[in-house]
Every structure is written in structure tokens, then in C-alpha cells.
């Protein structure tokens, strides 16, 4: 018996309307990596802490960062097969999942993005708003807070003649509050309360709503090299009993105008609807996907 739930769309609309209403003024940006290294003063004279992370993604998860105003980020995200698939599959290199994404900074605080994953032929779109920014000085703000909302639709053809799969039943939603603190120039930590809403689940005992708590960190080693990690703990329920928590370990390499990220994770999917409620690999049994993300930034506002 299948179950449908379409309660989330009006919540998404309300959240997105609020984000747009709160958006601040735009500011041009020519070099994203250079700008992230700087500290800026707000209207009260406090210093805004920047470069909490050096990319808009940690490994699986989003970070609190957004592209600057007028900056377009192009992302290539790639996952090979599991390392324990054996020599016949060349330890996973014969298999691949790919996501291409674009993220654009409408302002310094508000960004939108779209992407397409080869997994289940999935299209996704999101909005991301930096509600609070960590500051130092008089009456400092101890953390940065970014709000994130996304939707994803699967376009894979299903061979299920007895199951109705409407367009709405193919859509999932994700809502996150990203809370981060840069403790030092080298160490940043992020917490991520998360809700995944699935319009369609295969059985009545499965959850339409899946709650999880994520955590991520970045430890800088050298000027251009950093260790990263993220983890999602799925709260108890049918999904937690059936699937596993997503774990990722990685390295960020800064190379001029872009960040090159290498990582190992037990999750094949690269959008929230996959890696939060559908991770089935056991990291410690060798169900590890090697992957990378390349992010390249372009200033396009001055050309419009």
C-alpha cells in the first residue's frame, strides 16, 4: 500500500517568500576566493567573519556559504562506485554518478541554484539565504545562520503498472537550518537540523517526513589545503531502521579561481533527498564511494 502526502509545498512557498523579503542589497564580487579571505565591517562597526568554509558544499551537505552578488558558480560533482566492488569493476571506477549544478548569488545573502543528477534522472532547485553572519567586536554574533530550502523531482521511467506515479508523487522537499561557527582561522564547525518531506513512499509504514541532524567541519592544514567531514544522524523511525547515516571524509584544495574537493562517503546520491533518507552503504564494511567536486566561479553581473 502506497502513501502520498503533499503537505510540504505550501510550507516551501511560505519559507521562500520570507527569504525573498529579507534579501539584502547586492554587491559586486570579482574573486570569490579572495573575498572570502577578507573581513568586512557591518553598519555597527563589528567585523563580519568570512570564509567559514571555502565552498558552498562541505562534502554531501551544503555549507553556510553562498556565491557573492552577481557570481555564478558551476559545480561538477562526481561519484564512482564502491571501493569494495572488486577488481572486475576496477574498484568502482567503472561506475559513476554525476551531478551538474549552477548556483547564482542574487545578493551577498541570497542565492538560488539548480542541478541535474544522473541518479534516477533527478532535477533539483534550491534557495539559500544567509540570515545571520558571525561577527566580532562590540556585541558580537557568535554564529552564522543560513536557511536552505530545496525541491527535487525524479524523471526516471518506472515499470510499475499497478502503482500510480503522478508528477507530484515524484517530488521531494528538503528544509535545513545551517548553523556554523568559525572558532579560529583554521577550524570551522557546522550543525544542520534537517527535514526531508517525500510526497510518495512505497508502503504505508514508511515515513513521508524524515528528520535528521547533520554536523560538518573544516580543519585548515595549509594555506590551500583543508580536511573536511560531514555526518547525518537520522532520527529514530522506519527510515533509520532501514537505511544508514551518511558519513563523508574529504580534502579541499584551493587552486586559484576554484576549489577542488576530494572525498570518500558511503552515500551515492548528491542531493538531500538521496543522502539523508536513502544511504544504504556501510562505510566501515567498504561501501565507500570515492568522488570529487569541482567548483568554478564566474562574475556575470557586470555583463548583464
| pLDDT the model gives residue 190 | 98
Is residue 44 predicted with pLDDT exceeding 70?
no
Cβ burial 252-266 (10 Å sphere, 16+ → b, else e): bebeeebbbbebbbb
Look at 266 and 33; give whichever has higher pLDDT.
266
The pLDDT value recorded for residue 20 is: 37
pTM of the predicted structure, to 2 decimals? 0.83
Q: Where do the domains of the chain lie?
A: 3-303
- pLDDT grade, residue 11 (50/70/90)? very low
Residue with cell 571555502: 54
- pLDDT, one tens digit per residue, over 154-198 is 998 877 766 667 889 899 999 999 999 999 999 999 999 999 999
Tens-place pLDDT, residues 205-235: 899 999 999 999 999 999 999 999 999 999 9
- Tell me the pLDDT tens digit for each residue of 111-128: 999 999 999 999 999 999
Rounded distance, CA 235 to CA 211, Å? 6
- Which among 131, 220, 226 is positioned nearest to 180, based on CA atoms? 131
Sign of the dihedral defined by the CA atoms of residues 217, 49, 142, 235, in that order: negative
What nine digits make up the cell of 147?
Answer: 536557511
Q: What is the pLDDT of residue 161?
A: 64
- Under 8 Å between Cβ of 258 and 18: no
| CA separation for the pair 148, 140 (Å, rounded) | 24
Q: Please give the pLDDT value at position 30.
A: 36
> What does the pLDDT read at residue 40?
56
Residue that wins the pLDDT comparison between 138 and 119: 119
Assign domain 3-303 one CATH number from 3.30.1050.10, 3.40.605.10, 3.40.50.2300, 2.40.160.40.
Answer: 2.40.160.40
Q: Which residues make beta-bridge pairs with 299? A: 71
**pLDDT computed for residue 202 by the predictor:** 82
Split at pLDDT 50, 70, 90, the class of 204 is: confident
- Indicate whether 280 pLDDT > 50: yes
Cα–Cα dist 259/4, whole Å: 40
Q: Does residue 253 have a pLDDT over 90?
A: yes
* Residue 41, pLDDT above cutoff 90: no
Amino acid at each position: 500500500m502506497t502513501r502520498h502526502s503533499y503537505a510540504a509545498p505550501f510550507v516551501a512557498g511560505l519559507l521562500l517568500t520570507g527569504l525573498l523579503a529579507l534579501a539584502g542589497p547586492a554587491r559586486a564580487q570579482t574573486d570569490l576566493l579572495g573575498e572570502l579571505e577578507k573581513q568586512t565591517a557591518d553598519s555597527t562597526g563589528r567585523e563580519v567573519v568570512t570564509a567559514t568554509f571555502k565552498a558552498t558544499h562541505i562534502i554531501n551537505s551544503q555549507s553556510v556559504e553562498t556565491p557573492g552578488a552577481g557570481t555564478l558558480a558551476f559545480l561538477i560533482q562526481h561519484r564512482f562506485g564502491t571501493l569494495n566492488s572488486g577488481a572486475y569493476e576496477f574498484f568502482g571506477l567503472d561506475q559513476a554518478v554525476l551531478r551538474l549544478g549552477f548556483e547564482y548569488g542574487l545578493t551577498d545573502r541570497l542565492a538560488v541554484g539548480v542541478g541535474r543528477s544522473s541518479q534516477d534522472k533527478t532535477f533539483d532547485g534550491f534557495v539559500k539565504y544567509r540570515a545571520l553572519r558571525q561577527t566580532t567586536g562590540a556585541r558580537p554574533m557568535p554564529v552564522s545562520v543560513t536557511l536552505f530550502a530545496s525541491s527535487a523531482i525524479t524523471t526516471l521511467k518506472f515499470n510499475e503498472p499497478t502503482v500510480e506515479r503522478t508528477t507530484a508523487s515524484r517530488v521531494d522537499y528538503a528544509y535545513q537550518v545551517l548553523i556554523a561557527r568559525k572558532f579560529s582561522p583554521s577550524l570551522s564547525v557546522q550543525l544542520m537540523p534537517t527535514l526531508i518531506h517525500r510526497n510518495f513512499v512505497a508502503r504505508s509504514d514508511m515515513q513521508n517526513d524524515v528528520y535528521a541532524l547533520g554536523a560538518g567541519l573544516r580543519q585548515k592544514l595549509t594555506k590551500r589545503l583543508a580536511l573536511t567531514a560531514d555526518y547525518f544522524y537520522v532520527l529514530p523511525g522506519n527510515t533509520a531502521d532501514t537505511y544508514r547515516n551518511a558519513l563523508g571524509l574529504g580534502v579541499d584544495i584551493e587552486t586559484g579561481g576554484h576549489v577542488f574537493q576530494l572525498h570518500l562517503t558511503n552515500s551515492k546520491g548528491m542531493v538531500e533527498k538521496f543522502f539523508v533518507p536513502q544511504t544504504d552503504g556501510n562505510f566501515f564494511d567498504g561501501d565507500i564511494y570515492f568522488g570529487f567536486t569541482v567548483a568554478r566561479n564566474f562574475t556575470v553581473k557586470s555583463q548583464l
